[in-house]
Amino acid sequence: MASRPLRVLLQTTIQPIADDWHIGRFALLRQHLADLREKEGHPLCAVVARDRATPPGSDDPVLATIDRSDFDELWLFAVDGGNGLTPAECRAIDAFRRRGGGLMVTRDHMDLGSSVTALAEIGAAHYFHSRNLDPDSERRRIDDPFTTHIAWPNYHSGANGDHQVIEAVDPAHPLLSNGTVAGGTIRYFPAHPHEGGIGVPAGARDARIVARGRSKVTSALFNLVVAFDPSVEARGRAVAQSTFHHFCDYNWDIAAGCPSFVDEPPGTGMASRPEGRRDIETYVRNLVLWLARVPVP
């Protein structure tokens, strides 16, 4: 393990708008990362959590210089409507990964977070309604029929506040390691009524699907996690995640609340089945270690 805590930046692509998915709605994630410890008892992570400091189209001072920062990892929550990253920020994030920084990029349904398509390599792993469409035309169709103003991709894995059973893709990836349960792999993620689409980009030799979910409406399988593991250690590892709702407070604990525009009825599965919360917390630990090229226990 490193001689200092891993420096992790949790970053949204919007300014701090109260009635939106601002970084304060990821407080449980931030606290869990801050509470993680090495075997010797030292903090595993030093966490910075922030929203954009500048409006769309204007370079954020942290994102636009992240390649020259001392951060080890960037966890990017693309919660914007499509204009959340500037060209300079994308260049800096790409350079951050080229110099070895770990990168997790997540988004949500339809075109939410589609600014990430401008990122090199990992941007191509994210499929949207209007940009970088899923190459499988059969998947360009509505999966969640309940929230009618949201179009594809919108895979229905369950209600906010519930958990979903996930499928580990063989061979099981270290990201899903869980030595405390039978089978040795994580089984649950938080559910969401309309998850986004991700996949392995054409020609990508160092990427693979790690986990899949199954729609509770159509029974369609869809990808939850795509991992990039370059053979050259100087280039950072990366993960594409199908929705930021796997990480936000409301999906870990519905009592944390949500923006007013979320009107789907919540579930109680995460509250009634504590193994769901334990599994996503284990995944978070695995993710922060794997992105840093630290062995996952």
Contacts of 203 (CB under 8 A, 6+ apart): none
Shortest CA distance to 29 belongs to which of 244, 261, 259?
Answer: 244
282 within domain boundaries: yes
CA distances from 30 to 47, 209, 234, 252, 292 (A): 7, 26, 27, 13, 17
CB neighbour burial string for 86-105, b if at least 16 within 10 angstroms, e if fewer: beebbebbbebbeebbbbbb
99 within domain boundaries: yes
Nearest-angstrom CA–CA distance, 230 and 207: 8
Q: Is the Cβ–Cβ distance between 8 and 292 less than 8 Å? A: no
Domain count, the chain: 1
80 within domain boundaries: yes
215 within domain boundaries: yes
201 within domain boundaries: yes
Cβ atoms within 10 A of the Cβ of 176, count? 23
Q: Is the Cβ–Cβ distance between 82 and 114 less than 8 Å? A: yes
177 secondary structure, DSSP code: B
- Backbone φ and ψ for 129, nearest 5 degrees, come out as -80, -40
88 within domain boundaries: yes
User: pLDDT of the chain along its 297 residues, tens only?
Assistant: 557 999 999 999 999 999 999 999 999 999 999 999 998 899 999 999 999 999 999 999 999 999 999 999 999 999 999 999 999 999 999 999 999 999 999 999 999 999 999 999 999 999 999 999 999 999 999 999 999 999 999 999 999 999 999 999 999 999 999 988 888 999 999 999 999 999 999 999 999 999 999 999 999 999 999 999 998 888 999 999 999 999 999 999 999 999 999 999 999 999 998 999 999 999 999 999 999 999 998
Beta bridge partners of 1: none
- Backbone φ and ψ for 138, nearest 5 degrees, come out as -70, -20
pTM: 0.97
296 within domain boundaries: no
Give the domain range for residue 120.
6-291
1 within domain boundaries: no
Nearest-angstrom CA–CA distance, 32 and 281: 7
- CATH number of the domain enclosing 132: 3.40.50.880
